[in-house]
Chains A and B, each alone.
Chain A
Amino acid sequence: GAGVSQSPSNKVTEKGKDVELRCDPISGHTALYWYRQSLGQGLEFLIYFQGNSAPDKSGLPSDRFSAERTGGSVSTLTIQRTQQEDSAVYLCASSSQTQETQYFGPGTRLLVL
């Protein structure tokens, strides 16, 4: 079956602009996670969604970052007033239930000039 998909695959933007990243999880997966990988670093947790529960936003680095998950499926991660340090690969993962194995999408490579 189809895996996790993300769009766009690459995004180049100017400092100060807003960007929106999209994630389509595996069909039927109720848990969805966003991570990011900065250059030379491991993956860093950003936010978690599970069904209708309140999301765990504890990993968001600043209030410029927000995410939503509409209808329990597609999720969008929005970064407002982008900064150069936001440049990273943003990865989305989904799992059938919370605490089950997470399956990752290919990521969105964001470059802020």
Chain B
Amino acid sequence: DQQVKQNSPSLSVQEGRISILNCDYTNSMFDYFLWYKKYPAEGPTFLISISSIKDKNEDGRFTVFLNKSAKHLSLHIVPSQPGDSAVYFCAASGRGTGNTGKLIFGQGTTLQVKP
């Protein structure tokens, strides 16, 4: 049972344009969401997060949007740069009392930004 889903295995965009990566979840107990970026042969690198009390969080070129009613979040990268080419993982956790903070990950979306 896949609790966090990234339905697009790959995405290709032109440099300078917007990249939109999508993620859906099924567990309503999740209240904290993160995006990680992963280059080949490296560990995931934290990118941006959002708590369920917010619907938007912005950090430079990266913005994460959360739609709780739809159980959907998205990562917007604008403008996209060739160095953004990587695999992007969506992750979710429950932060309530007693939760360990373990992350449930989606399967990843490979982003290619073409020069």
Residues on A close to B: CB < 8 A?
4, 31, 33, 35, 40-45, 48, 50, 56, 59, 91, 93, 95, 98-107
Contacts and interface: CB of A to CB of B under 8 A. Distances in A.
Interface string B89-105: 10101010001111111
Given A43-B44, A101-B49, 4 more contacts: A43-B103, A91-B44, A102-B103, A103-B46
A99 B105 contact: no
A98 B106 contact: no
B44 to A, nearest CB: 5
Contacts of B91: 43
B101 A99 contact: yes
9 smallest A-B Cβ distances: which pairs? Answer: A104-B43, A99-B101, A42-B105, A43-B105, A42-B107, A45-B102, A48-B100, A99-B95, A56-B100
Nearest to B99: A99
Contacts of B105: 35, 42-44
B101 A42 contact: no
B46 A102 contact: yes
Interface in B44-80: 44-46, 49
Contact of A101 (B34, B43, B89, B107): B34
Contact of A104 (B32, B44, B101): B44
B114 to A, nearest CB: 23
Contacts of A43: 44, 89, 91, 103, 105
A106 B100 CA distance: 22
Contacts of B102: 33, 45, 48, 56, 59
Nearest to A4: B43
B5 to A, nearest CB: 9
B4 interface: yes
Given A42-B4, A42-B107, A43-B89, A95 B101 contact: yes
A104 B99 CA distance: 20
Contacts of B49: 101
B43 A98 contact: no
A4 B101 CA distance: 18
